[in-house]
Amino acid sequence: MTETGSEKLNKFEKLKAEKDGLLVKQEISEFARQGWEAMEENDLNHRLKWLGVFFRPVTPGKFMMRMRIPNGILTSTQMCVLAEVIRRYDREGSADITTRQNIQLRGIDFSDIPDIFNKFHKVGLTSIQSGMDNVRNITGDPLAGLDANELYDTRELVQQIQDLLTNGGEGNPEFTNLPRKFNIAVTGGKDNSIHAEINDLAFVPAFKEGFGFNVLVGGFFSGKRCEAAIPLNVWVKPEEVVSLSKAIVEIFRDHGLRLNRQKARLMWLIDEWGLEKFRDEVEKQWGKSLQTAAPKDEIDWEKRDHIGVYPQKQLGLNYVGLNIPVGRLSADDMFELARLAEVYGSGEIRFTVEQNAIIPNIHDSALNTLLTEPILKKFSVSPGLLMRSVISCTGAQFCNFALIETKKRAIAMTEALEEELILSKPVRIHWTGCPNSCGQPQVADIGLMGTKVRKNGQTLEGVDIYMGGKVGKDARLGTCIQKSVACEDLQPILKDILLKQFGAKVREQTAAQI
Ligand code: SRM
Ligand code: SF4
């Protein structure tokens, strides 16, 4: 059934129609003066997210701020500003690197928010339009401009798309009422380092008339349905990426389905129209003829995790990938990363979708000293083969959707398994606290999705186990292979999977054999 404007709107459509989310930007100083307790419910719970400010029902009064870090790249000055923000809140202040190469800040007092926005503004940071029905942080190749094998440096394109959609970070009312969230990724390397296949819109390198990108559309995860993106049969030149992104977001904004929020992501519109009509409408909106896709794309490599020390394309320079277990940072950690970037590199820090950090532009002569820095004990360049790949969403500590605690559990389980087993290769284990799949269990070697299980008459925290996710070349989504495992019973099950399917060996046995 096709939707019409006269049919009943869902509650989010109503609240957006009553007042656009971006309008709270004008009101934030007054809100902060009066206190969050005095705010109207929809402003507090929903519209603040248009500014990247999230009320956390789990920690009322302690807010989360979600930034936009295009291509996952920050300067050390920006990192210090973010660190200063959370330092005020002592132990309650923390930050997380997210699965979209981004940063979220926690423990924030509401009354400080106008001042924090001023601080962001001074150093070119923005948190605008990072939540609710907006385009999320735009991901790009974490090695852009560093990798000798890259085909295209994605940094400028990603920044241009963000600037267009957010009006240079100030907020753009043209794109603040989408039917639902929208994810965009641009990759210029051969290893699909940003999971193109799980974005609503992705550009992957491909040659036709010179270098350009094939376009994928409709990838998404939700509690109801998960789909890998499909080829739109379009190839564009780099200089066309921004305008095509705009046209596709406009199509989604103007025609995306809005009645049922569970069926509002782009793929549902593609289903309703069919891919051919969708492509035709994109062409009309773009106002130019679309070229058909290049016959093959250039995603030829297995995905790299960037942990370790690697030479850059610039002779004598290196990038160092640090493992930040489950992405969690304290203010001190952030100051320290900023210091390392300044002392040893060029004052730049990058994030990956694996919730890790990269410090680029380190001269050969500075490498050895950098590797003796104490923080590298915490954020290792050569972590265990499970720790280097573990990923976790926020989970019950701060997220009210969560069915289980994730981050602490992910670290404890990883440590316990590494103690028991010797691995011969990294195994990517992703934890996610509920079916929303922010921790992307479907792309993992082993994905763990939080659920509640009944055991001996009790309700316990548990997981559904996913396997078969493949990233990089020929990426595909994993599926659920076992449901409802209580977390207290999980370790031996994971051990068994690692032994039988990933070539792990029991530590004692190996020791005895030697
Ligand atoms: Fe997510 C909602 C955290 C990446 C699918 N996600 C949420 C909220 C905002 C729910 C809430 O209000 O509490 C979570 C905030 C919790 C908190 O306090 O941190 C949340 N999502 C995250 C992050 C922080 C997970 C992480 O630890 O890294 C990631 C932030 C990314 C960013 O910087 O913008 C995050 N979320 C994702 C991804 C992964 C990705 O983009 O590659 C997905 C699956 C991909 C996708 O969207 O297609 C994802 N989040 C969702 C969904 C399900 C969307 C749907 O169509 O149904 C929700 C729920 C919703 O939007 O209604 C959700
Ligand atoms: Fe929260 Fe669920 Fe997303 Fe985890 S997957 S951050 S629990 S919404």
pLDDT the model gives residue 508:
77
Q: What is the pTM for the complete model shown?
A: 0.97
* Ligand 2 proximity of 394 Cβ (cutoff 6 Å): yes
Is the pLDDT reported for residue 155 higher than 70? yes
Atom of ligand 1 nearest to the CA of 220: 48
Is 66 designated active site? yes
Q: What is the C-alpha separation between 141 and 152, in angstroms, rounded?
A: 9
CA nearest 330: which of 64, 53, 106?
A: 106
Q: What is the C-alpha separation between 81 and 277, in angstroms, rounded?
A: 47
7 confidence band (pLDDT: 50, 70, 90) = low
CA nearest 204: which of 281, 276, 294?
A: 294
Average of per-residue pLDDT across 192-218: 97
How many whole angstroms from 441 Cα to the centroid of ligand 2? 11
Q: For the chain, what is the mean pLDDT?
A: 96
pLDDT the model gives residue 4:
47
How many whole angstroms from 361 Cα to the centroid of ligand 1? 32
Q: Which residue has the tokens 């495992």?
A: 485
Structure tokens at 507: 């530590």
How many whole angstroms from 114 Cα to the centroid of ligand 1? 25
What is the predicted ipTM? 0.99
Average of per-residue pLDDT across 34-45: 98
Catalytic residue among 180, 190, 258, 304: 180
509 or 107, greater pLDDT: 107
Q: What is the C-alpha separation between 363 and 286, in angstroms, rounded?
A: 45
How many whole angstroms from 326 Cα to the centroid of ligand 1? 15
Is the pLDDT reported for residue 227 higher than 50? yes
How many whole angstroms from 436 Cα to the centroid of ligand 1? 7
509 confidence band (pLDDT: 50, 70, 90) = low
Quick: pLDDT tens for 196-207. Answer: 999 999 999 999
pLDDT the model gives residue 512:
52
Contact by Cβ (8 Å): 339, 332: no
Is 438 designated active site? yes
* Ligand 1 proximity of 221 Cβ (cutoff 6 Å): yes
**Amino acid sitting at position 253:** R
Q: What is the C-alpha separation between 225 and 477, in angstroms, rounded?
A: 12
Q: What is the C-alpha separation between 443 and 427, in angstroms, rounded?
A: 12
5 confidence band (pLDDT: 50, 70, 90) = very low
- Nearest alpha carbon, ligand 1 atom 4: 438
pLDDT the model gives residue 513:
52
pLDDT the model gives residue 1:
38
Atom of ligand 2 nearest to the CA of 399: 1
Q: What is the C-alpha separation between 487 and 498, in angstroms, rounded?
A: 17
Is the pLDDT reported for residue 432 higher than 50? yes
Q: Which residue has the tokens 């992405």?
A: 327
Is 181 designated active site? yes
Q: What is the C-alpha separation between 351 and 324, in angstroms, rounded?
A: 10
Residue 21 φ/ψ, nearest 5 degrees: -55, -35
Burial (0-12, 13-18, 19+ Cβ within 10 Å), 493: middle
CA angle 65, 70, 73 (to 5 degrees): 95
Q: What is the C-alpha separation between 15 and 306, in angstroms, rounded?
A: 42
* Ligand 1 proximity of 127 Cβ (cutoff 6 Å): no
pLDDT the model gives residue 2:
45
Q: What is the C-alpha separation between 443 and 468, in angstroms, rounded?
A: 8
CA nearest 509: which of 421, 426, 427, 424?
A: 421
pLDDT the model gives residue 143:
98
Alpha helix segments (H runs only) across 51-183: 76-87, 113-122, 155-166
* Ligand 2 proximity of 405 Cβ (cutoff 6 Å): no
The percentage of residues in the chain with a pLDDT greater than 70, rounded to a whole number, is 97
486 confidence band (pLDDT: 50, 70, 90) = very high
Q: What is the C-alpha separation between 462 and 482, in angstroms, rounded?
A: 11
